[in-house]
Amino acid sequence: MSTKALSIKDIAKKANVSITTVSFIINGKGVEKNISTAVIERIEKIIQEDGYKPNQVARSLRMGTSKIIGLIVEDISNPFFAGIARLIEDKAYKKGYKIIYSSTENQPGKTKELIDLFKSRQVDAYIIAPAEGARIEIEKLLLENKPVVLFDRYLPDLNVNYVGIDNFNASYNAVKQFVKDKRKNIALVTVDIDVEQINHRLDGYKQALIDHQMPFSAGLVIKMPFGQTKEETIDRLVQLFKSHPEIDAVLFATNYLAIGGLMALKQMNKMVNERFSVIAYDDGDVFKLHTPQISAVEQPLDEISDNIINLIFQQISAKEQLAPQQIILSGRLIIR
């Protein structure tokens, strides 16, 4: 249906040179290839005037690269991932790369599907927050020497680039803060997916209890099924708070669980106050504006995306295989 775009042939014909010459000039190799300044200028003018843009698809086919980076996350509308997406987009754009994204919804099969799809589109690099079952697919990418950076969730024993925060310590410090505030019955609300990041949040919680000579009570750890509705989350939490009135502090292992928790409290008319504390993972406006303000573990989005993009471009431009790096940043506990 649409009008035909100009091709390199059209420009070559118009300028009375070969497409080789035009190609060299487009790619800034005019001088290097000893093309006369007069010809270079003449052709650049034509390109400029006619608004010719090289067909990147043809270029991709020929070169085997696409200048596209694939981003695979659990849910692009989650503020954490949306924030990362925005920052990465910006940094990639400055180097001439674009981002294609997809959400896995934590479905095990989806990662494979997405990676295959991205592969067939010749994406140059993969940024992945691995869902459950992603390990084999990522191993395959590594075998093929594709540039890969994981973030948010680490895959233990896999020698791969990773950027994330120290979840163990973040949880540990949150609990430590509760103890300092004389809390006696500290609950952890987390999610039942089996990924390192989430497991470490639990481990840090447990270790902090041990180190402060506090008993660990299984009843105070709630693992929510992944993907349950917000209403189900709220109901479960209302039940928890009712059946365990002794709870005087809650650490929420994710942003959306904290929001569900605050809604449950609101519904019960239970106040967050000197006798009941809350700490949430992933800071946000909602916690700053809450009355009272809610403490949170802030993930440094800017630092995370900087590191991701740097690792990606290091790999893209590397002549040989680089040793993978694991970059662990600190989550900042913001006490309010």
Partner DNA sequence: CTGAAAGCGCTTACAG
**Residue ranges that bind DNA, judged by CB under 7 A:** 4-9, 16-21, 23-24, 26-27, 33-36, 39, 54-55, 58-59, 61-64
What residues contact 312, with CB distance under 8 A and at least 6 apart?
69, 92, 125, 127, 147, 149
User: Taking CB within 5 to 8 Å according to partner kind, which of its own copies, DNA, none is near residue 20?
Assistant: DNA
Among 23, 40, 79, 155, binds its own copies (CB under 8 A): 79
Among 7, 23, 102, 325, binds its own copies (CB under 8 A): 102
Closer Cβ to DNA, 36 or 326, answer by number: 36
Count of Cβ atoms closer than 10 Å to residue 119 Cβ: 15
- As measured in angstroms, the least distance from the Cβ of 33 to its own copies is 23
State the Cα–Cα distance between residues 153 and 167, nearest whole angstrom.
10
Binding characters for its own copies, 218-257, by CB under 8 A (x = yes): ----------------------------------------
Count of Cβ atoms closer than 10 Å to residue 274 Cβ: 10
- As measured in angstroms, the least distance from the Cβ of 287 to its own copies is 9
- As measured in angstroms, the least distance from the Cβ of 218 to its own copies is 29
- As measured in angstroms, the least distance from the Cβ of 125 to its own copies is 11
* Cα torsion angle, 166, 172, 177, 183, sign: positive
**Ramachandran region of residue 164, left (φ > 0), alpha (ψ -120 to 50) or beta?**
beta
State the Cα–Cα distance between residues 298 and 336, nearest whole angstrom.
12
User: Is residue 212 near its own copies by the rule CB under 8 A?
Assistant: no
Of residues 15 through 44, those in contact with its own copies by CB under 8 A are: none
State the Cα–Cα distance between residues 262 and 252, nearest whole angstrom.
10
User: Is residue 1 near its own copies by the rule CB under 8 A?
Assistant: yes
User: Is residue 329 near its own copies by the rule CB under 8 A?
Assistant: no
Going by the DSSP 8-state scheme, the letter that residue 220 receives in this structure is G
CA-closest candidate to residue 233, choices 253, 205, 199, 256: 256
Tokens of 193: 């997916």
- As measured in angstroms, the least distance from the Cβ of 120 to DNA is 8
Among 122, 185, 217, 325, binds its own copies (CB under 8 A): 122
DSSP element (H, E) containing 68: strand 68-73
User: Is residue 262 near its own copies by the rule CB under 8 A?
Assistant: yes
CA-based diameter of the chain, in Å?
85
User: Taking CB within 5 to 8 Å according to partner kind, which of DNA, its own copies, none is near residue 259?
Assistant: its own copies
3-state helix, strand, coil in the chain (%, to 5): 45, 15, 35
Tokens of 307: 């590191």
- As measured in angstroms, the least distance from the Cβ of 160 to DNA is 26
User: Is residue 288 near its own copies by the rule CB under 8 A?
Assistant: yes
User: Taking CB within 5 to 8 Å according to partner kind, which of its own copies, DNA, none is near residue 7?
Assistant: DNA
Among 33, 50, 117, 302, binds its own copies (CB under 8 A): 117
**Residues binding its own copies: number (CB under 8 A):** 55
User: Taking CB within 5 to 8 Å according to partner kind, which of its own copies, DNA, none is near residue 239?
Assistant: none
**Omega prior to 292 cis, within 30 of 0:** yes
The count of C-alpha atoms lying within 13 angstroms of the C-alpha of 269, restricted to the half-sphere facing its C-beta, is: 0
State the Cα–Cα distance between residues 257 and 280, nearest whole angstrom.
8
DSSP element (H, E) containing 306: helix 301-317
The residues of the shown chain that bind its own copies, judged by CB under 8 A, are: 1-3, 5, 53-58, 60-61, 66, 68, 75-77, 79, 82-83, 85-87, 89-90, 93, 98-103, 116-117, 119-122, 143-146, 259, 262-263, 266, 284-286, 288-291, 320-321
